[in-house]
Chain A
Amino acid sequence: MNDNSPNELRRPPVDDPGPETPTPSWVSANPELSKAAQRRVVGAFGLSALSALISVVAYFAIPLHIQVELGSFRAGLHNVVFGTTMGLAILLIGIGSVTWGRNLMNDDEIVQERHPPQSSDEDRTEALAQLSEGVRDSGVARRRFIMGSLGGALGLFALPLVVTLAGLGPWPVPSRRRATIERTLFAEATPQAPIRLVNDVTFRPVKASDIEIGQLVNAQPENVQHLEGVELQQAKAKSSIILVRMDPETIQVPESRRDWQVSGILCYSKICTHVGCPITLWEQQTHHLLCPCHQSTFDLGNSGVVVFGPAARSLPQLKIGVDDEGYLIATEDFRVPVGPSYFERDSRNDFQEGDA
């Protein structure tokens, strides 16, 4: 047992039994059954052909508007018939082929002989000799200038490929970030020229008195409605907000955010701090805001801190007020960048549980 010689180790535990003794299958050994199997194969192929023909006829004959309804199954008759018959046609070809192979073909095991993949020693010597002959003939070793210039040309050819990376966008230096990713439409608001908060879609300004306890409003800054196309989408990706009203008795407002709200109406960014999905799934009784993408949950009754899920930062809150006519307004931008993380983001100013 303790004999550790290499040969002993390589010996398989069971002797090679060799290929199975060939035994004809029950069907192929029995002429009548063989005939029946042949009929089944031909039948499958024939049905396949028929099915294909029906699908062609159905494609033209069935009007597109007819619907079939079977309980919860509801579909266009055209699609159902065309798809089913075409599927049947290919399935029957498969069934016929497999039946043919299983019943009428021989399934004896055979040994396939292989040879080592390397070339013969003669061929290898010959190839190496030809290679050295080529190197000597081209004079690579002597003509160093040629080699140098070739290397330079190849190296510079990579340059245009690298240069195209510039097309990916401007370099995110701090000033660039402040003007783009760290700025929303609310940056145009000042205490002298505040921006009204308007309903998304309808762009009706929102009055503080219109919002009941337990209400949620999907809102935008009023200056979003003058934008169009790409600009609009980029602006909305940062400036989308939700307004919620909660009973002031049931929420925690830190000292520093006392004047950020209007009698229980709080305004938060609608963009999840995890990977930037828009979130409006708000439970009015628990005050929890749940992101449908990865279940990050924020407590809007506690400055938007994360109570569950993969998000690492609180939902940014926007300071809001109310103007002379009772409409909700913003007078400044978010204090921290909204949306998901990025490499250069300064996350020291985000609200954390327990901040005053």
Chain B
Amino acid sequence: MKYLSIRRRHPVAKPLILVLALFLVGAVYALVVPTTQSTAAPGLSQQEADGQALFQVSCSSCHGLNGEGTSQGPSLVGVGAAAVDFQVGTGRMPMAKPGAQAPRKKSEFSAEETAALAAYVATLGPGPAVPDASVVDPSNLTEEEIARGGDLFRTNCSACHNISGQGGALPDGKYAPPLTGVEPTHVYEAMRTGPQQMPVFSKNVITDEDAQQIIGYLQTVSKENQGGGLSLGNLGPVTEGLWAWVVGIGGLAILAVWVTSKGARSK
């Protein structure tokens, strides 16, 4: 004690005591105040725990720390793994900025990370699962089954996605996206989960068999021979009319000016 009391007026004593006091306050605070980071719930597998960690970093600012939803994003309880695989796998989530619609873009996550996220969200509540590749693979369908898929597509899907799956406009800047080049799994998942404005088409109403036939129709249509050259987006009269008026009639007008103009005079 004598050692300390002799040096109590030493120049470094005051700063040293300050540092010690700060350290003490910090240590007590860390002990008393509980951590805000919720630790992995017991019973999560390694993959689900990885998914939870990813979720808290990339998704929780809008969907809540436990996927309960906030004013910025809906609750993810019960949306199922299929919804996550669709939204994250097609790059729609995480959204780059808030807007009328989450556009399709390059995915920010690897297949492994997407699977981990999906596994974690699936633990929040029961929902549609990611389908087996064999469920959605249309390669073994007969022509008759593909034609039936076309019937189903025209009845259930073409109002928004256009008769050949080219997509279409919705009110207020929203749109139904084109279905060309979409993975069969993602088409299936969209039907089962009803992303954004799209209605749900559940398993008992549009069976897995029906869904597979619809996918078969979509793939057949996108590979169809285009005998006529420029498809102009397969959108029908709007683009065709624009083309005819601007390029067709515009070209004729230019030709008419050339035909009636007088050339240079000799004097």
Contact = CB atoms under 8 A, between A and B. Distances in A.
Interface of A: 23-30, 67, 72-76, 79-80, 83, 98, 102-103, 107, 199-202, 204, 206-207, 210-218, 244, 278-286, 288, 290, 292, 295, 297, 308
A213 B194 CA distance: 10
A29 B229 contact: no
Nearest to B262: A107
B225 A67 contact: yes
Contacts of B183: none
Given A79-B228, A281-B159, A286-B197, A207 B171 contact: no
Given A23-B265, A280-B156, A215 B231 contact: no
Nearest to A243: B205
Contact of A202 (B170, B210, B266): B210
Contact of A25 (B197, B202, B210, B264): B264
Nearest to A219: B205
Contact of B199 (A200, A202, A206, A244): A244
Interface in B183-219: 194, 196-202, 204-207, 210
A284 B194 contact: yes
A244 B227 CA distance: 40
Interface in B140-156: 148, 151-152, 155-156
Contacts of B171: 283, 288, 290, 295, 297, 308
B230 interface: yes
B71 interface: no
Interface of B: 148, 151-152, 155-156, 159-160, 168, 170-171, 174, 194, 196-202, 204-207, 210, 225-231, 258-259, 261-267
Contacts of A288: 171
A76 B226 CA distance: 7
Given A26-B263, A207-B204, A244-B199, 18 more contacts: A23-B265, A23-B267, A24-B265, A25-B266, A27-B263, A76-B227, A79-B227, A98-B259, A102-B262, A199-B206, A200-B156, A214-B194, A215-B205, A216-B156, A218-B155, A283-B171, A284-B198, A286-B197
A104 to B, nearest CB: 11
B197 A279 contact: no
A215 B194 contact: yes
Contacts of B156: 200, 216, 218, 280
A201 B205 contact: no
A213 B93 CA distance: 22
A30 B174 CA distance: 65
A332 B201 CA distance: 27
A26 B264 CA distance: 5
Given A210-B205, A215-B202, A284-B197, A75 B227 contact: yes
A194 B251 CA distance: 63
